[in-house]
């Protein structure tokens, strides 16, 4: 059995956390490939090492003095090394090399990547695992796109003969061999790529929560945890704002059917959440989760006999495309079509879009509604359960929430509900209560 295990920044913020991580790894001999993040925050108001490194790059780019900032960053690592009592090991030369590189050729990606690189060196030494630099494994094309073929080949070639290895997360190299990083939180992606290339049995992603919750705990008191969720359900929820895992981390493992297990470093005994391609496990509740976002606008276009006008929908979308605005949903009626867009993208260009709609479709009216929030109610069990939509709407009417829009995909995996921004929290609470009180 092969497990690839990724640990997030909060799991590696100081020596105490490092020890917990080492105990977790040593408790299971299948945990063979370890992907660490950079040290995260230790307390409220603390600064992540990655942010300290980006600030260091900014100084370097302006040609300013680096020593003070370098010393602050080095102290974080020295504290970890000291706390772990690692003998005959220091990172003085590494810091000299970082300084030299930033004085000579400062790039933000190089600076940011050193957080994971240094944590990887320490972790490998502490565990007695081999250190493998991802600059020799993970390859980017231009524009931060991954060269999947070359990467998977290299990861497999290089790692398959190493029994236990530490591979820092978050970065790789570009065509010229320069360090390039993923977007923030990208160590999740490294773990997923390594797991996929090695055809691992499971990708464990260790963080500071015990997996996904059925709703945002800032809105619902003590929401239940999600034991198992499919990749498709997760896509719907993360797109709507539920975040534990980097969005792009799903794709590599998903393509080869490897499950992800989200686990809590501070409560390793908790089951966490399993993210799987497909499952026969009967879910406990009709809905798997609820998530949502505020700040949408609905643009409704009305034109008599619109339904028989071929190309009408295309022309409407063209008006948005011409203005570089992507749309989120498009519910329609007989003589109206509504396009839901992000308010911050749309409002600055609204009059241009409206005039383009007029030019292209000659409508009877164009109406704009703002302050719309969208809520996704997601659940693979909804398909086989009669009356789900009815219960959602009954709960909302009971909570005095006016429903402004409904969109149900034909997959019946989710229902999207539009409400006014001010009703957002109440609506989520009402839907949560009605479903989680009633089990399947």
Of 13 and 59, which CB lies nearer to ligand ASP in the complex structure? 13
Q: In whole angstroms, how close is the CB of 186 to ligand ASP at the nearest point?
A: 5
Q: Does residue number 48 form part of the binding site for ligand ASP (CB under 6 A)?
A: yes
Centre a 10 Å sphere on the Cβ of residue 434 and count the other Cβ atoms it contains.
18
Taking the complex as a whole, the smallest distance from the CB of residue 334 to ligand ASP amounts, in Å, to 48
42's tokens: 């230790």
C-beta of residue 404 within 8 angstroms of C-beta of residue 416: no
* Least separation in angstroms between CB 37 and ligand ASP: 4
Determine, following the binding rule CB under 6 A, whether residue 169 of this chain makes contact with ligand ASP.
Answer: yes
Q: Does 120 bind ligand ASP (CB under 6 A)?
A: no
Rounded to an integer, what distance in angstroms lies between the CA atom of residue 397 and that of residue 39?
A: 47
Cα gap 160→415, rounded to integer Å? 44
Q: How far is the CB of 9 from ligand ASP (least distance, A)?
A: 5
By CB atoms closer than 10 A (0-12, 13-18, 19+), residue 260 is buried
Q: How far apart are CA 161 and CA 105, in angstroms?
A: 35
CB of 396 to ligand ASP, least distance (A): 37
Which residues, 6 or more positions from 264, have their beta carbon under 8 angstroms from its beta carbon? Answer: 206, 207, 208, 209, 210, 211, 270, 272
Of the pair 185, 418, the CB lying nearest ligand ASP is at: 185
Answer for which of 106, 115, 223, 252 binds ligand ASP (CB under 6 A) is 115
Site for ligand ASP in 7-46 (CB under 6 A): 9, 37-38
Shortest-Cβ-distance residue relative to ligand ASP: 187
The candidate with the shortest Cα–Cα distance to 366, out of 321, 407, 315, 418, is 315
Site string for ligand ASP, 292-331 (x = CB under 6 A): ----------------------------------------
CA distance 436 to 440: 9
In terms of CB distance, is 38 or 353 closer to ligand ASP?
38
- Asked if 35 contacts 235 with a C-beta cutoff of 8 angstroms, the reply is no
Q: Give, to the nearest 10 degrees, the angle between helix 350-361 and helix 312-322.
A: 150
Q: Site map for ligand ASP, 179-198, x if CB under 6 A?
A: -----xxxxx----------
Q: How far is the CB of 248 from ligand ASP (least distance, A)?
A: 11
Contacting residue, 17, 50, 210, 361, with ligand ASP by CB under 6 A: 50
Pick between residue 170 and residue 320 the one whose CB is nearest to ligand ASP. 170
Closest CA to 54 of 136, 214, 170, 135: 170
Nearer to ligand ASP, 13 or 299 (CB): 13
Site residues, ligand ASP (CB under 6 A):
9, 37-38, 48, 50, 115, 169-170, 184-188
């Amino acid at each position: 059995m092969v497990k690839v295990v990724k640990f997030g920044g909060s799991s590696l913020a100081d020596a105490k956390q490092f020890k917990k991580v080492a105990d977790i790894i040593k408790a299971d001999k299948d945990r063979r490939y370890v992907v660490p993040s950079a040290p995260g925050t230790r307390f409220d108001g603390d600064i992540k090492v990655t942010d300290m490194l980006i600030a260091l790059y900014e100084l370097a780019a302006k040609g300013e003095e680096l020593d003070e900032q370098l010393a602050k960053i080095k102290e974080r690592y020295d504290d970890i090394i000291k706390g772990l009592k690692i003998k005959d090991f220091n990172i003085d030369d590494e810091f000299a090399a970082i300084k030299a590189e930033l004085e000579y050729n400062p790039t933000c990606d190089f600076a940011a990547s050193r957080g994971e690189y240094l944590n990887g060196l320490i972790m490998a030494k502490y565990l007695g695992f081999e250190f493998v630099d991802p600059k020799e494994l993970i390859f980017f094309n231009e524009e931060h796109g991954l060269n999947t073929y070359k990467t998977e080949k290299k990861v497999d070639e290089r790692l398959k003969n190493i029994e236990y290895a530490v591979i820092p997360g978050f970065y790789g190299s570009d065509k010229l061999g320069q360090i390039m990083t993923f977007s923030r939180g990208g160590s999740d992606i490294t773990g997923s790529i390594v797991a996929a290339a090695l055809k691992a049995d499971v990708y464990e992603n260790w963080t500071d929560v015990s997996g996904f919750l059925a709703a945002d705990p800032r809105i619902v008191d003590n929401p239940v945890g999600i034991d198992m969720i499919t990749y498709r359900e997760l896509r719907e929820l993360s797109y709507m704002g539920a975040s534990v895992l980097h969005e792009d981390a799903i794709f590599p493992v998903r393509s080869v059917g490897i499950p992800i297990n989200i686990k809590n470093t501070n409560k390793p005994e908790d089951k966490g959440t399993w993210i799987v391609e497909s499952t026969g496990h009967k879910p406990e509740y009709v809905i798997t989760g609820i998530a949502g976002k505020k700040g949408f606008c609905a643009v409704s276009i009305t034109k008599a006999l619109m339904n028989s006008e071929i190309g009408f929908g295309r022309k409407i979308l063209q008006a948005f495309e011409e203005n570089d605005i992507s749309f989120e949903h498009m519910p329609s009626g007989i003589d109206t079509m509504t396009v839901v867009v992000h308010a911050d993208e749309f409002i600055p260009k609204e009059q241009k879009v409206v005039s383009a709609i007029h030019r292209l479709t000659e409508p009877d009216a164009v109406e704009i509604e703002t302050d719309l929030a969208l809520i996704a109610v997601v659940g693979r069990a909804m398909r086989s359960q009669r009356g789900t939509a009815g219960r959602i709407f009954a709960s909302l009417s009971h909570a005095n929430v006016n429903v402004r829009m409904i969109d149900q995909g034909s997959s019946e995996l989710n229902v999207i509900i539009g409400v006014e921004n001010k009703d957002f929290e109440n609506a989520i609470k009402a839907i949560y209560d009605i479903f989680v009180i009633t089990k399947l």
